[in-house]
Structure 1
Amino acid sequence: MRLFLSETFFDAVFKLPKKAQDKVVAFQKKFRENPASPGIHLEPIAQFKNSTMRTARLDDNYRVVIGMLNGNTYSLLYVADHEEAYRWGMSKKFVWNEHTQACQLVNVEEKEETKSPTAPVVETSTFFTGVPEDKLLKIGVPQETIGRVMSIKNLNDLDALEPILPLDAYENIFNIMDGENIDAVISTIEEGQAHDNEDKLLSDNNKRRFVEITDDDALQRIIEQGMDKWQIFLHPSQRKLVDAEYKGTMKISGGAGTGKTIAAIHRLKYLCQNPDAHVLFTTYTRTLSVNLADSIAKLDVPVQKYKLNNIDSVLLDVVKAYKIKDGYKVLDYSGDEESLKLWREVLETEVTEFDEQFLYDEYIDVIVYYGNKEVKQYMMQPRVGRTRALSRKQRVDIWKLVEKYVALKQERRVVDRLELFNEATNYLNDNGIHPYTNVIADEFQDFSNPELKFLRALVAEGKNDLFLVGDPIQRIYSGRKMNFGAAGINVRGVRSRKLKINYRTTEPIRRMAVGVIKGVDYDDMDGGKESTNGYVSLIHDGVAPQYKMVSDANAEVGQVMEWLEECQANDIKLSEICIAAPSMQLLKNIQSRLHRDGKEYRVLKGAQKQGSTDGIDLCTFHSLKGLEYRVIILIDVNERNIPSKVREGYPFSGMDKVAQKEFLSAKRSLLYVAITRARQLVFITGFGEKCELIKKD
């Protein structure tokens, strides 16, 4: 016999007490041995809506609802106390949809439709007017609800039908009404089907919500390890990316909460199945790499097959292994002051129209960015993003100053950080050294061009070489220039895919976040524009985020404590809450108040986590990257910290127009990232001038 685990059963089993969970494990083992065993008590219920539904006795208090596809194939659908299990089962039908090749749980109304399933005659046109019935069947709409779907005029009508639609059908209809072409949706569904002689029950479409239990201990591992849903259930759009064989590089983009990192982690496990695999999984910050380590461990990826590290640590490993710039000190880990000091020394003996900041930026943003080694390369180089035009003579003069700067660095045995990436890249390419079989990079938008070139050099060009995951809209570090083409990485056409469905946040939270970045053009880092079109959340129910301005810092602390009390009154655990600020200094008052009130907390600073794992997390907006919580509380959000436009004085006074634009864009992205870390609730407060980026819905 074959036994499947449904997504609904997964959710239900984790709501049971521990003793009941243990009984579920024992039950499924007995069921796999003999579903007809008298001890199972597998029986139909007269009130159930179709003959495929059964219940089985777990103990005196709990029952399991089971779906039966044929005499030898079953699915665990739900588990709860007797009354709740019966009530749940009576509201469902369990069917196999041949059009999508997936099992469906169809919600049924008290009185089912008795009218013809064909489209009703309507006086006014509806959204699906003129759409053939067979196309609606192909996107998963049950035959008995075709007429209701054909009457839909807008999203409000769709929301009204949501309770009686299978989840996959609702999702597909929503995408179409949001602008996706129905034929494209059908094509995606067909891609998720089994092909030729493959098992239809193991199609990507079915594995989205139903996975097969292939051994007696599988369910026990799921429960004992407290597995997250993402470890087991993947959307077909994700699974297609994870299990594919690519001729070369693949770039995956998508908005916050669309499952990019999840796809990358599953991709790592897939690549590590290769006996010769030596995979690098990298990201920009140490904080992210630490968070990724926890997630990768949950998938039980063989540790000897991969290496996980942030990009700077990977660089230092290569530099050390091959003695590149051996004994040199690396500048610029904490800003550009050390490099500017050297530039000032160069200018002490030179008469020039350029100051040290301009020369430093020209060196990093043009010469190091493109890896120029000779003046003739620099003379021909485009200077995209540099506001001041230069004549040929000025470029020659600058190059002479650069030569003196480089000589001074060699004398002092120091090297600019990004320059070291170029040195390592050149060494690897010149010597034909490629340390890894595959490279996966998460949050690609955080990298600069020298770092991308370094990634390109770490693996030989070819099958499954680079898997790049990120979101250009989440680019929170201003001044970091990158372009895939300029880095020698081809991600155009079929080498680029986009995930669009937000599975993390509610629709009200998504709307607020998208409103923050509205009206700004974001570079897709390959010559085009990144768009939020099609980026939607399927979690429509939800409370609108709150943004409340207060009089001063003390009032802000009071407001935060009020929200915390409200959360606890609604059975939200402190460990499900994060309080974040633009800087750690701004969290001091909150930290003191939590300590005074005896509320446990943990400070997240870089890769360090100090404090109780059962308490509230405290961190900066930047440190929120890659994390998610049930509740996010953002403090000190105002025009001072998250400006909507250029203003006089700090920090804009020392910037040119390009730098000002990048700074504002990065601040918008930072707020967007912070808001989208929340699964359920967002509270925002501040004092001073209200942040104009946050609009009321």
Structure 2
Amino acid sequence: MNVQGRATLRLLDKADKQIRKLPRSVKGAVYEFQYKFRDNPENPGLNLKILEGVQGGRLYSARVNKDYRALLLHAGESDYVLVAVRPRGEVYDNLERFKHQINQVTGGIEFIDMEVVESATASAEPGTGQGHTDPAEQAGQDVPAEPAAPDVPAEAPRPLFADYTRDQLRELGVAEALLPLALKVTTDEELYGLVEYAPSLTEDVLLRLADGMGFDEVLEEITRPVATSETVDTSDYSAALARPATRATSEDTDIQAAIEDRFSRWKVFLHPAQHKLVRREYRGPARVSGGPGTGKTIVALHRVAHLAARLPPGRSKEILFTTFNKNLAADLRKRLLELGGQAVVDRVEIVNIDKLATQIVAETGRTGRRRWIDDQKALREWSDLLTELGETQWDAEFLHAEWNQVILGQAVNSRADYFRARRAGRGKRISRAQRAEIWQLVERFTMRLDEKGLWTHRQVAELAARIQSEQAMKIATFEERQDREGAQMLQHLEQSWANLRYPYRHVVVDEAQDLSPAHWKLLRALVREGDNDLFLVGDTHQRIYDNYASLSSLGINIRGRSARLTLSYRTTRQILGSALGLLGEESWDNLDDSTETLAGYRSVLKGPRPEIRGFDTWQAELDALAETVAAWEQEDRERAAAAAEAEGEDGAEQEQTSIGVAVPTRDMVSEVERRLAREGVRAAGIGPEGPRLDDAVHVGTLHRFKGLEYRRMAIAGVTRGLVPGRHIDQFREDPTRHEREVQRSRSLLFVAATRARDTLGITWHGTPSPFLPNTATDSGPPGADQVDGALFARGDALF
């Protein structure tokens, strides 16, 4: 080896996971090591030397401190890849444990510590695989003793991949060294242990096969998008380092950020298996669905960047990137800027859908001097109108929803049209005479708003959809006449007709489940029907607003162009399992007159089990919440301070607090903020525009956490009568409507729980919410331990 001058040092994928688990003092030594190594790898203090007992002659060790050694793969010239940091004894006592190779399918570098993988597989918790655990036993309940069975040899469990050969797994890209282990695993927990430190393609392939995907499907969707078209020289590590399949930090200076695990790092990372969704040519509208943390928004961001890169020079804003939530729209702008830079952002209109509708209506001069009111104020106006009229047959909530979803949603402009309007999913059947009564009340209500100079966002969306639909009809008429009469006809048309065009070439929608029928009509009219026109991402299990739509009935046909993401990259499987238990057994729609499930939805991330606790009173719960949050904040500050100290930067900018506290009501938000302040914790409420402060614990209602992400989440007040609210009892006579309200409440709780990446705590007082598994009885509140065990038993059984 002839090393002279500076060297480059990159970090191989998954090595950072192991390094982050090291003691703080060792991580600090790793920070110092990387600088010394880059500056001079021959520094005598580093003691860089080749590990003679490892195949290939490319693996080196170097001194991090007196107890730990860095393992470095020499890719050629001055290029090195940091593949692991291990205790000194582990490095030299068993060199055969270390395996490295160039994958023949992808051409990327892979490193495996067989002892770590085998240990993780062997230490998988017994009884937590599918079908191996009694829920009562997990809940801590007494299980009756089984009668003694005859002395019959137990049948060996069937391996998960018994239907596949070694050659098939190799063709899919599974690492050669892991083939024997892969063919032996029999439970999901053993599989999780195997893939935790396995190369990423091996992880993806095995998890998808375990989910039930067939060989051909995995080959097409997982392996081929990352396979190289080049002839792979398994001895050329320099060429392998340059390939995208070698998932290492792109620059050697990125290694510090990777080890520090900055939370924002995951906000633009596109998993290789998702590249195909981003780059595919779609012959019409397409949709990507998936549970929280599966990367839907990241797919949408990369899709926008991909479309922007293909635009011809010309008009600046030719892509619309929209969503329902104002907070999320602002976050999308920031993330797209981080991903693609200003050049991409300049080609994209990033705006929430109601603001876009307002702009369209304002350009026509039809807004006048009206004031906007939200749904809550509109409901109060409905209630006041019904009181003044002495109307008791219809309630405000029903009429408001009928007006929004049917009349405004379908752009119904006359009583005759209302008689013919579809009311699928609205629940209560109404006669022709009742429709006439409702239409009369709607007319009175809209007149009331006109007289007061008020307007709802739904009204604006419906008007914007009509304006844009009329524009689209003019474009169609113009193009039809042009085809029929030729270019000469331009001379006979007004200039305004000749300048007609669709505002956008492409529309990308995030959180698609939150949009109303009027929104979808508007979007359909904003872009020409054709290739790559509409790209939608969303999850109906996270619908927290009262918006329901059938896309096909609105002229948006996604059938045959839908994909589902099943692997969560954000949430641990402990949190995920518990959150899924909160959803219950209801059936969710798929935005197209069919149903959707989260079957096969899983995570390979591992963390502590969520904690759920019950208290006698709200005050006792509040005190415990403040104590817990203060402890979390202290731990986070100590971790950040230790990292800054290890870097030798006393004034270094530390990572912002990443703790959220969700509660059911606005009053509880204020109470939590005051109680945290007394505990010495800086807290900030989340308003319509987002958190008031960044560097603070964020407190808000369950609704406010839509689209946000935190390391730690506390959900308080998960109490009967609050989650769900008592108001839904009035809908019991209308089963369909009641079911929707229950689903919406479950979705709120599910969304809040899945905002957490590492730590989740759920608390209640008095009587727990019936959404907590095994508490949906009227026999009184079970003890905290009982609810805790039931929740975890249900969550674990799903994985």
TM-score (norm 2): 0.73
Choose from 111, 116, 132 the match for 1:105.
111
How far residue 597 of structure 1 moved from its aligned partner, in angstroms, is 2.8
Q: What residue identity is the alignment partner of 1:464? A: N
* Mapped partners of 2:505, 2:214: distance in 1: 38
Q: 1:246 to 1:10 in 2, by over 3 A?
A: farther
- 1:283 corresponds in structure 2 to 323
Percent identity of equivalent pairs? 27
Q: 1:510 to 1:205 in 2, by over 3 A?
A: farther
* Mapped partners of 2:736, 2:189: distance in 1: 43
The question of 1:309 aligning with 2:345 is answered no
- 1:324 corresponds in structure 2 to 366
Alignment deviations for residues 581-605 of structure 1 (CA, whole Å, 9 cap, x no partner): 1123213343223222322233222
How far residue 632 of structure 1 moved from its aligned partner, in angstroms, is 1.1
The question of 1:621 aligning with 2:702 is answered yes
**Over the residues paired in the alignment, what is the CA RMSD in angstroms?**
4.3
Q: What residue identity is the alignment partner of 2:667? A: Q
How far residue 437 of structure 1 moved from its aligned partner, in angstroms, is 2.9
- 2:624 corresponds in structure 1 to 559
The question of 1:447 aligning with 2:528 is answered no
Choose from 294, 297, 308 the match for 1:258.
294
The question of 1:340 aligning with 2:386 is answered no
- 2:82 corresponds in structure 1 to 77
- 1:663 corresponds in structure 2 to 741
Matches within 5 A, 1:91-102: 92-102=98-108
- 2:729 corresponds in structure 1 to 652
List alignment gaps of at least 5 residues for structure 2. Answer: 1-6, 120-154, 473-500, 641-655, 774-789, 794-799
- 2:535 corresponds in structure 1 to 467
How far residue 671 of structure 1 moved from its aligned partner, in angstroms, is 0.9
Q: 1:342 to 1:134 in 2, by over 3 A?
A: same
Note if contact 2:117-2:197 (Cα within 8 Å) is conserved in structure 1.
no
Alignment deviations for residues 341-387 of structure 1 (CA, whole Å, 9 cap, x no partner): 68559958xx9976766554433332212112244432322222334
* Mapped partners of 1:543, 1:328: distance in 2: 52
How far residue 650 of structure 1 moved from its aligned partner, in angstroms, is 3.7
- 1:6 corresponds in structure 2 to 12
* Mapped partners of 1:304, 1:205: distance in 2: 30
- 1:605 corresponds in structure 2 to 687
Q: 1:355 to 1:5 in 2, by over 3 A?
A: closer
Q: 1:27 to 1:267 in 2, by over 3 A?
A: farther
Q: What residue identity is the alignment partner of 2:429? A: A
Note if contact 2:544-2:703 (Cα within 8 Å) is conserved in structure 1.
yes
- 1:116 corresponds in structure 2 to none
Note if contact 1:204-1:236 (Cα within 8 Å) is conserved in structure 2.
no
The question of 1:210 aligning with 2:247 is answered yes
Note if contact 1:78-1:85 (Cα within 8 Å) is conserved in structure 2.
no
- Structure richer in strand, relative to its length: 1
The question of 1:51 aligning with 2:57 is answered yes
Q: 1:13 to 1:415 in 2, by over 3 A?
A: same
* Mapped partners of 1:272, 1:660: distance in 2: 44
* Mapped partners of 1:555, 1:292: distance in 2: 39
Matches within 5 A, 1:384-395: 384-395=424-435
The question of 1:635 aligning with 2:701 is answered no
- 2:123 corresponds in structure 1 to none
* Mapped partners of 1:232, 1:78: distance in 2: 23
Q: 1:229 to 1:416 in 2, by over 3 A?
A: closer
- Report SS of the residue matched to 2:759: strand
- Structure richer in helix, relative to its length: 2
- 1:434 corresponds in structure 2 to 502
- 1:372 corresponds in structure 2 to 412
Note if contact 1:448-1:481 (Cα within 8 Å) is conserved in structure 2.
yes
Q: 1:231 to 1:26 in 2, by over 3 A?
A: farther
- Report SS of the residue matched to 1:192: helix
Note if contact 1:577-1:631 (Cα within 8 Å) is conserved in structure 2.
yes
* Mapped partners of 2:452, 2:14: distance in 1: 64
Choose from 519, 544, 552 the match for 1:485.
552
Note if contact 2:566-2:601 (Cα within 8 Å) is conserved in structure 1.
yes
Choose from 510, 516, 520 the match for 2:576.
510
* Mapped partners of 1:156, 1:222: distance in 2: 27
Matches within 5 A, 1:184-263: 184-194=217-227, 196=229, 207=244, 210-211=247-248, 213=250, 228-230=264-266, 233-263=269-299
- Report SS of the residue matched to 1:94: strand
List alignment gaps of at least 5 residues for structure 1. Answer: 114-121
Q: Which has the higher contact order (CA 8 A, sep 6+)?
A: 2
* Mapped partners of 1:242, 1:280: distance in 2: 16
- 1:168 corresponds in structure 2 to 201
Q: What residue identity is the alignment partner of 1:246? A: Y
- Report SS of the residue matched to 1:241: helix
Note if contact 1:48-1:89 (Cα within 8 Å) is conserved in structure 2.
no
Q: What residue identity is the alignment partner of 1:534? A: G
Matches within 5 A, 1:525-536: 525-536=591-602
Note if contact 1:68-1:75 (Cα within 8 Å) is conserved in structure 2.
yes
* Mapped partners of 2:338, 2:19: distance in 1: 19
Note if contact 2:107-2:245 (Cα within 8 Å) is conserved in structure 1.
no
How far residue 418 of structure 1 moved from its aligned partner, in angstroms, is 1.5
How far residue 161 of structure 1 moved from its aligned partner, in angstroms, is 4.1
Alignment deviations for residues 610-646 of structure 1 (CA, whole Å, 9 cap, x no partner): 35x4432222221222122222111111112113xx9
Q: 1:309 to 1:334 in 2, by over 3 A?
A: farther
* Mapped partners of 2:117, 2:514: distance in 1: 54
Q: 1:8 to 1:295 in 2, by over 3 A?
A: same
Deviates more, 1:519-528 or 1:155-164: 155-164
How far residue 442 of structure 1 moved from its aligned partner, in angstroms, is 1.4
Q: 1:397 to 1:162 in 2, by over 3 A?
A: closer
Q: What residue identity is the alignment partner of 2:113? A: N
How far residue 322 of structure 1 moved from its aligned partner, in angstroms, is 3.0
* Mapped partners of 1:105, 1:131: distance in 2: 24
Q: What residue identity is the alignment partner of 1:663? A: E
Q: How many residues are treated as equivalent by the alignment?
A: 673
- 1:128 corresponds in structure 2 to 161
- 2:491 corresponds in structure 1 to none
Q: 1:640 to 1:391 in 2, by over 3 A?
A: closer
- Report SS of the residue matched to 1:662: helix
* Mapped partners of 1:36, 1:393: distance in 2: 90
* Mapped partners of 2:89, 2:507: distance in 1: 48
Choose from 460, 473, 488 the match for 1:420.
460
* Mapped partners of 2:438, 2:277: distance in 1: 46
Choose from 673, 683, 697 the match for 1:591.
673
- 2:128 corresponds in structure 1 to none
* Mapped partners of 2:172, 2:743: distance in 1: 38
How far residue 536 of structure 1 moved from its aligned partner, in angstroms, is 0.5
- Report SS of the residue matched to 1:7: coil
- 1:177 corresponds in structure 2 to 210
Q: 1:463 to 1:389 in 2, by over 3 A?
A: same
TM-score (norm 1): 0.83
